Chains A and B, each alone.
Chain A
């Protein structure tokens, strides 16, 4: 049984509002009380969930590079001069493979992962020129969000290489496009008055697709990616409803 005083302490602990001495005492109590530990964990999750309510604002794109440069400098400084360069571990030996791995949704994740491992060999050749660290840094990964309820379970992840003007879109759990319709990808660049055509996205019966694309026109700056439903075969200018969008 957890009393109100313990609940107060758990709340303050979750909010980081306890002083150092009280933290030590409370953590000793936590170690001996699984129920209190569970409550504290839940309150901590609840407090952190408040972060989601902040008005959405994206960090400037150059900040990513700045942070990557900092951690690379740290990694280099802490490594013996003769050691091998840092390599990606786990299943994500390629940026494409890693990013594509984000097309996850529940069980599809593990399926996707296995599929990605199979694809790794061919991707290795395909993306040989992207293996350098600079290539990794310049990759942009976008996660698209559903605009309508019918797509709430769909996931769409796009990896975009601005230098080579090409990308890969990975889709999962997309409903089949109705007869006479196709999904079509659009790249929204403020430079152009209309979205740039990224091509149609053939989705299989299993709702999964992996499509490499090159936009119709040179893209200088991607503001957003969007997927709309268009007449079969695609159209040069977006007309249909946008079902997913994101950056």
Chain B
């Protein structure tokens, strides 16, 4: 599951259009757009709003085996041209100095940049970093649910010392739209990584059926999870296994799965 987090609808619109995401009418805490294996949440401006949106959507998708995240938004810069796209490699919270290191750009050469997250808008730009208002809140929250390799923050320059377009919503959408190919290529790479991690978790339905076969203690469940996960990753037939184990006492179920693990790993 890939989650896009944008402060404003105008920042998200090119992504919503590209993936043809549909607005969810079941939720009213945040505007949410859904597609196949993908969601886009509009958090509102500021790091607290962004962190709240991340936590809310992570709770909504808590059954997902793995979540990947992209924070897409605009940023201010001293000298960079409007429309320049950056993948953040360092995010500094201006209030508490906390630093975060999201995954760098992959697949194609989007330049990296540091970014300082401010609580209030400022055009007192520094030459070594971008300014934004969400990235540190995004990192703070998303790191609770996923590893840094599955988290990216992409920023498009909307304001610099000469020109300010951050408040011009159609122009913000146009700047993002200009970069949609690079942005979606980043998303594809992240989805592939996320799928790899998600595939390591066994299907919930089979797992539930396995633990319903007998009354297992928590320790036995922990052991079962390791054994079952290995067999599922080695493409054992879950239906067939469950049928063979049905009616067996719990110790025998564990022993059978252990033997299968040992036999399968003998040849390495």
A, B in one complex: no
Residues of A within 8 A of B (CB): none
